[in-house]
Structure 1
Amino acid sequence: MVLMKQNKTPITILTGYLGAGKTTLLNRILTEKHNQKIAVIVNEYGEVGIDNQLVVDADEEILEMNNGCICCTVRGDLIRILNTLVLSMEQGKVKFNRVLIETTGLADPAPVAQTFFMDKHLSEKFEVDSIVTVVDSKHITKHLDNHDEAQEQIAFGDVIILNKTDLISSDDLNSLERRINQMNPTAKRLYAQNCSIDLNEILGIHTFDVDRKIEIDPHFLEEHHHHHHDDKVSSIAFREEKPLDLDKVNHWMSYLVQEKGEDLLRYKGVLYIKGMKERIVFQGLHMLFSGRPDRRWKESERKITELVFIGKDLNKEELEKQFKNCIAN
């Protein structure tokens, strides 16, 4: 076990495959009383940032990184953000007890953690507390079969939260546990619905052990690290200032789930619906989707629909045409 040095700011890396519940857990962390000031770095795969809009209004610093994956294309942005945080703390502008990094669902957490060992300046200021992996108990078996990232996220986790346990049978849960145990027998297990856990189980637990990570990945402390995403997986984003028709949106989503559900890894957004004073927060994962009224649109806020689809073999022109058909008359 690696103990924190008191002058270093602890880092919690929050990972997990698309739709596992990372943002739900992040909101729980930001709204519960833990007497800590947390800087949050949110990374999204697509060019439109949705997760930052789904994070609750909290007295925290929320820093957004879009249009790339934190473990490869925008890793330099992570280093710049962290150095900016260090400078702000040294100048007395801000004070943080901890930094929480929420990775995209397609990220390999290893190079993210590696950042704090390979960059000398950051290694003097920060220390990795733990890697927390959120698992969608219902869909993870399918993801483990088809996506290396899902395997990497579990293998590198210090804490594995088996989320959505209410959606599977006890036999399926036992089978999943056996599979996870083969990949990572030493990680602490937590069981949850809607990521409802005791935060003391994941914050300030000092479970990141670099020797254990080298056992998993012998090249962990080497400078080069190549991470290739599945070429079939892409992200498509839509923005629209005109209001949408709710019935048309529901019809479209029902069609998409039936026709493309297996290929839709994740889809989410904030909808501007004609005749509604509230934002509609929309989230989907394969065949499961839901939309719910959120807070009211603010007077000073520009009303706009923003949608992101992450999936396999997506046809942008076809999706865009269907999306445009949802605009209210």
Structure 2
Amino acid sequence: MSLIPVTILTGFLGSGKTTLLKRILTEAHGQRIAVIENEFGEENIDNEILVADTEEHIVQMNNGCVCCTIREDLRETLSDLAKQRKAGTLNFERVVIETTGVADPGPVAQTFFMDDEIAELYLLDSILTLVDAKHGEQQLNLRQEARRQVGFADQIFISKTDLVTEDEANALAHRIKHMNPRAPQKRVHFGEVPIAEVFDLKGFNLNAKLDIDPDFLKEEAHHGHNHAHKHDQGCGHDHAHGEACHHPHHHAHDDDVKSFVYKSTKPFSATKLEDFLGSMVQIYGPRMLRYKGVLHVSGMDRKVVFQGVHQLMGSDVGPKWASGETKVSKMVFIGIELPQELFQAGLDQCLA
């Protein structure tokens, strides 16, 4: 039996998660979806909203947010759903988990990798994050949960852009791109999102072609918008073997969630790189939200694709390097106050 795909829907309070979810459930896509909802309090108003006009199975989890303290409950809920599906008492093809507005999506994602039973039943497809254009700047300034939600995202939807000016929407999009360059952004109106941009994104599939988000390793394009930010004119240093540039942007707000890209045309030593990344994950894992890359490894004619969430890291052999293709390693790290210089120096030492 094929794995059941799972989508995690996250975003800060009031960002439009339930609106988007209701649209997903009522659109005529012919798919049966099990929804795991998680809200504070004894009564869940969202349940009343969602059950209307749908036959989906709604699972209530009212004892706190889906995070470290409730991970076992999520595991049990997923296990129970799978058992009912196998027994024929429930019929569904995929699962959507809507987290609370103040949840960190990291532990939710980790559930799909840390538990063997769950990993054998489910495939985590992607994390979708909604950001409220009207209140997003303030939420990102004040709440680390909001910044983490952006950092974890595979796809970002910016809602309520009709309530702000074009310049304000552009400034928010620019800030989000700086925090998480690998997640495509889309501005949405009242949850109007094509299903193709919600399901089967393969954000966590190591075997998926990386052209799903081809721009995530490119330098940031500025499209001529005027932002009240000062841009450095370079990375300030050159590496003879390749480059490790971040092109930092100095914002009035200094987000603790930041991203940086490492590139090198020299091949990596597989053992050195594994040892180094293993040690960094041991030390900084809780602050490493997402990391991903395509590697040129010494002695291999194929690309190596790797990615991780917190302390969980995996790699897989990808396609062969094409004839005439420049063999270059490209890695992106998204995390909370990660020591960029330490990572760069360590990765330099891992080159063959």
Task: State the TM-score, normalizing by the size of structure 2.
Answer: 0.59
Q: Work out whether residues 69 and 75 of structure 1, in 8 Å CA contact, stay in contact via their aligned partners in 2.
A: no
Partner residue, 2:67: 71
Gapped regions of structure 2 (runs ≥ 5) = 207-287, 293-306, 314-352
What is the SS of the residue equivalent to 2:145? helix
Q: Work out whether residues 112 and 122 of structure 2, in 8 Å CA contact, stay in contact via their aligned partners in 1.
A: yes
**Alignment equivalent of 1:112, drawn from 108, 127, 138:** 108
What is the SS of the residue equivalent to 2:108? helix
What is the SS of the residue equivalent to 1:179? helix
Partner residue, 1:51: 46
- The CA distance in 1 between the partners of 2:39 and 2:205, in whole Å, is 27
**Alignment equivalent of 2:312, drawn from 212, 221, 224:** 221
What is the SS of the residue equivalent to 1:151? helix
Q: Work out whether residues 110 and 220 of structure 1, in 8 Å CA contact, stay in contact via their aligned partners in 2.
A: no
User: Once superposed, what is the RMSD of the aligned Cα atoms?
Assistant: 2.0
Partner residue, 2:193: 197
CA, structure 1 residues 218+39, in 2 after alignment: closer, same or farther (shift >3 Å)? closer
Q: Work out whether residues 16 and 132 of structure 2, in 8 Å CA contact, stay in contact via their aligned partners in 1.
A: yes
Structure 2 counterpart of 1:38, which letter? Answer: I
**Alignment equivalent of 2:168, drawn from 165, 168, 172:** 172
Moved over 6 A (4+): none
Structure 2 counterpart of 1:64, which letter? Answer: Q
Are 1:185 and 2:147 matched, yes or no? no
Partner residue, 1:151: 147
Q: Work out whether residues 48 and 67 of structure 1, in 8 Å CA contact, stay in contact via their aligned partners in 2.
A: no
Q: Deviations over 1:272-296 (max 9, x none)?
A: xxxxxxxxxxxxxxxxxxxxxxxxx
- The CA distance in 2 between the partners of 1:187 and 1:149, in whole Å, is 17
Of the two structures, which has the highest relative contact order with CA contacts closer than 8 Å and spacing of 6 or more? 1
**Count of matched residue positions in the alignment of Structure 1 and Structure 2:** 217
Structure 2 counterpart of 1:130, which letter? Answer: S
Q: Work out whether residues 290 and 310 of structure 2, in 8 Å CA contact, stay in contact via their aligned partners in 1.
A: no
Q: Deviations over 1:220-268 (max 9, x none)?
A: 429xxxxxxxxxxxxxxxxxxxxxxxxxxxxxxxxxxxxxxxxxxxxxx
- The CA distance in 2 between the partners of 1:74 and 1:212, in whole Å, is 19
What is the SS of the residue equivalent to 1:36? coil
CA, structure 1 residues 179+62, in 2 after alignment: closer, same or farther (shift >3 Å)? same
Q: Work out whether residues 65 and 103 of structure 2, in 8 Å CA contact, stay in contact via their aligned partners in 1.
A: yes
What is the SS of the residue equivalent to 1:213? strand
- The CA distance in 2 between the partners of 1:8 and 1:217, in whole Å, is 20
Structure 1 counterpart of 2:290, which letter? Answer: K
- The CA distance in 1 between the partners of 2:202 and 2:45, in whole Å, is 31
Partner residue, 2:4: 9
What is the SS of the residue equivalent to 1:55? helix
Structure 1 counterpart of 2:34, which letter? Answer: A
**Alignment equivalent of 1:18, drawn from 13, 19, 29:** 13
Partner residue, 2:28: 33
- The CA distance in 2 between the partners of 1:73 and 1:212, in whole Å, is 18
What is the SS of the residue equivalent to 2:312? coil
Gapped regions of structure 1 (runs ≥ 5) = 1-5, 223-329
Partner residue, 1:288: none
What is the SS of the residue equivalent to 2:75? helix
Q: Work out whether residues 291 and 308 of structure 2, in 8 Å CA contact, stay in contact via their aligned partners in 1.
A: yes
Q: Identity, % of aligned pairs?
A: 47
Are 1:81 and 2:77 matched, yes or no? yes
